[in-house]
Amino acid sequence: MNKLVAYGAIIEPTRDSSIQEHNTRILNKLPEFDEWPPLAQSSFSFQVPSQGEDGPITDFGGRVIHFAFSIKASEDPFEVWRIKFEALLNKLVWESAHVHWKMWWGAQQHYKWERKHEEINHSELIPNHWTFTHEEG
C-alpha cells in the first residue's frame, strides 16, 4: 500500500488570548473534508491551556497547534499540499511551523517555516513573511 504520513506543529508566538482566539476561529473555518491532498479541520488540534495551579502550564509562551494525517498516495503531493498549508499560515498568527513528511518508499522530509524574531509584530495579527527550509532524512 502506498501510504503517506504527515505530522507537525504550528507554534504560536505568545500566550495572548486574542491570538489564540483568532487562530481557533481560522482553524474552525477549515473544511471538514477536503480535496486530495487534504488540509481538513479534523487534522488539527491543540492542548487546552492549564492555569498552572494543579499542574504545569501547558501553553507557556504560546500554544502548540499540532496536526497529522495519513493518506493513500501514488505520487508525492507535497507541493500541492504546501500551497494549501501556506495559505493557512497566511491567515494564522504563528512563530514557526514544522512538517514531517514520510513517503511509503522510505523517504522522509522535514520542512520548516520560521518567522524572524524582529519580523514578529504582535499588534499586526497576520505574519506575511517567513523563511522556508527543507531537510532530507
* Cis bond upstream, residue 56 (ω within 30): no
Query: What confidence score (pLDDT) does residue 57 get?
Result: 66
pLDDT, averaged across the chain:
83
**Residue reference for cell 476561529:** 25
Which range marks the domain in which residue 16 is found? 3-136
pLDDT in tens, 101-128: 998 778 889 999 998 655 555 545 455 5
Rounded Cα distance between 90 and 22, Å, is 13
Give the model confidence (pLDDT) of 61-80 as tens digits: 788 999 999 988 877 788 99
Count of domains observed in the chain? 1
pLDDT(44) > 70: yes
Task: Please report, for the domain that includes residue 32, its CATH number.
Answer: 3.30.310
pTM for the full predicted model? 0.84
Asked if residue 55 has pLDDT above 70, the reply is no
State which H helix or E strand residue 9 sits in.
strand 3-11
If phi over 0 gives left and psi between -120 and 50 gives alpha, with beta otherwise, what is residue 52? left
Distance between start and end Cα atoms, the chain: 21
For residue 7, pLDDT beyond 60? yes
pLDDT at 46 over 80: yes
